[in-house]
Structure 1
Amino acid sequence: MKRHLPLFVLACCTLSINAIGEERQLTSNTSLSGDFIQGGMLVGQTRSASLVKLNDVPVKVADNGVFVIGFGRDAALNNTLSIDFKGANKTVDFTLGKRNYRESRVTGISKKITHPNPKNVARAQKDAKEVRAARAKWSTAQNFKQSFIWPAPGRISGVYGSVRFYNGKMGRPHYGVDMASPIGTKVVAPADGIVRLYVPDMFYSGGTLIIDHGMGVSSTFLHLSKGHVKPGDIVKQGDLIAEIGNTGRSTGPHLDWRMNWMNQRIDPQLLVPKR
């Protein structure tokens, strides 16, 4: 989750993001709209009372036939959607676009940073468990259908999918988009939702806040200096929720905004206007 580290050289380019979403009519009664690409989120519409599966895994369908699916950084390109309506089953295959991601190399990083002590590792594992529990709570709301807005101003200093090599060793990919701004810069809700978590001092992510947008779609905000909401609060798009900070394992003031569909880490930058 560290950003703004010195002495790095970028290699490779990301596939152009903010691609215009498209709508595909899969069957006479089922459509998908969004970005058919790794890291993308797709909103589906089918008949109510339909049973939907993505690659044989059941997908929640709302009473009005709406469903949502998301794809991680390295999601398989070939996918199958199965729609069962009162015993009549239709299966449709579709393909995602493949992305290339930025790579950077950082040297001179101390072992204290690359190899945290066991006490800090245990703390980080506890934090991760708390985050997973918060993401497991989700409503049947359909706020993910809104046009998302940027949660904060600032220079984009980190992008989804990028990976760094620390002293020659590959680190974990970055799963969010970073906005570099001064400490105290306002952070607003990118879409309506329910606050599921606010913890001011997680080991890696510092001040951490999670908003549930419905049906497994959630936003997570990291490295915050201050929170203005608490778990259970209902927020509207544009509401003040927090302030940018430099907490946790961060080397400069910024907001790290991440999004999930269930356990799939999707790219927030695909859902907002291009900067």
Structure 2
Amino acid sequence: MIGRRALLLGVGAVVASPHRLGASAPARDELDLVLNGAWRQGGYALGRTEPGALIFVDGEALSNASADGLFVVGFDRDAPAGVEIAVRSGDRTTRRVLDIAPHDFPSTRVDGLPPATVEPSDPALLARIQQEVAVKTEAFASDADADDFRDGFIWPLEAFRISSEWGAQRVLNGTPARPHYGVDLAAPAGTPIRAPADGRVIFVRPDMHFEGGLTLIDHGQGLISAYLHQSQQDVASGQTVRRGDPLGRVGMTGRATGPHLCWRLKWRNRNLDPSLLIGAHAP
């Protein structure tokens, strides 16, 4: 087992100044913009700008800064080498292009899974999976007007072993599969799971085909964390949780070969590594 303070390799923090090189102040048509975070594939940027400013990523309007001017942007596993973040308020706009570091993702093999959880073929099961995809898609579209990500995350377990790294290319029962968009935290069945940050519970279901006991939390602006394979769930949809509050218990429900928590994070349909937000703080 390892403690929650470990495993922070690869997390960096960089500040982007709102000033042009060699200038003492932003131009009149620019907004203040300060950024920090982990600028790598699967990482994120936390920003501070004018309250309510519209946030663009590569030209697409995706969010608004909070009442305190805070916002979050996520970089997918396969994010390109450069990502432009722009903030706009009225006729004033500021743009920054961030260099996104590539990451060498490992490959992992998992054998002994029930065939129906790897290559389902039964029509009734396929219909169930399709229905579950629909309800998950609706939940992941949640967009709470909050900035509960502002103080970063803590680990959702007190002690654990990482049994599969985030972003690993998966081979399931010998069949190549999608990358693993979660961090697997192996721990004994029944280990308490706690909320890594404040947020609002938006989805609780105990019997998902792949995920088993699944809970989703909206931390604001579309940043949604997920907790899979739970044997017990101690929260209800619509409930507000604070950092450290109990969410449930580690289990091995759904597609799992042993007790563990699969911890996931999404922002605007981009898959992020939740562990990179451990200890983060908005600028």
| TM-score band, normalised by shorter chain | 0.7 to 0.9
Q: Which of the residues 155, 160, 166 maps onto 2:166?
A: 160
**Against the structure 1 CA distance between its residues 110 and 177, is the aligned structure 2 distance closer, same or farther, given a 3 Å change threshold?**
closer
CA offset at residue 64 of structure 1? 2.8
Q: CA RMSD in A?
A: 2.1
Q: Residue in 1 aligned with 2:208? A: 202
Asked if 1:80 is matched to 2:84, the reply is yes
Q: Residue in 2 aligned with 1:42? A: 45
Worse overlay, 85-94 or 218-227: 85-94
CA offset at residue 65 of structure 1? 2.0
Residues 37 and 43 in structure 2, CA contact (< 8 A), matched pair in contact too: yes
**Against the structure 1 CA distance between its residues 169 and 45, is the aligned structure 2 distance closer, same or farther, given a 3 Å change threshold?**
same
Share of identical aligned residues, percent? 36
Asked if 1:220 is matched to 2:226, the reply is yes
CA offset at residue 203 of structure 1? 0.2
Q: Which amino acid aligns with 1:184?
A: G
Q: 1:59-208 residue pairs with structure 2 within 5 A?
A: 59-105=63-109, 111-116=115-120, 117-152=122-157, 153-166=159-172, 169-208=175-214
Residues 18 and 272 in structure 1, CA contact (< 8 A), matched pair in contact too: no
CA offset at residue 164 of structure 1? 2.0
Q: Which of the residues 240, 246, 252 maps onto 1:240?
A: 246
CA offset at residue 162 of structure 1? 0.1
Q: Residue in 2 aligned with 1:24? A: 16
Residues 18 and 271 in structure 1, CA contact (< 8 A), matched pair in contact too: no
Mapped partners of 2:169, 2:52: distance in 1: 42
CA offset at residue 151 of structure 1? 0.5
Worse overlay, 244-253 or 130-139: 130-139
TM-score (norm 1): 0.87
Q: Which consecutive residues of structure 2, in runs of 5 or more, have no partner in the other structure?
A: 1-7, 20-25, 27-31
Q: Which consecutive residues of structure 1, in runs of 5 or more, have no partner in the other structure?
A: 1-15
Residues 113 and 255 in structure 2, CA contact (< 8 A), matched pair in contact too: no
**Against the structure 1 CA distance between its residues 148 and 232, is the aligned structure 2 distance closer, same or farther, given a 3 Å change threshold?**
same
Report SS of the residue matched to 2:129. Answer: helix
Residues 112 and 257 in structure 2, CA contact (< 8 A), matched pair in contact too: no
**Against the structure 1 CA distance between its residues 166 and 203, is the aligned structure 2 distance closer, same or farther, given a 3 Å change threshold?**
closer
Residues 17 and 269 in structure 1, CA contact (< 8 A), matched pair in contact too: no
Query: What is the number of equivalent residue pairs in this alignment?
Result: 259
Residues 200 and 206 in structure 1, CA contact (< 8 A), matched pair in contact too: yes
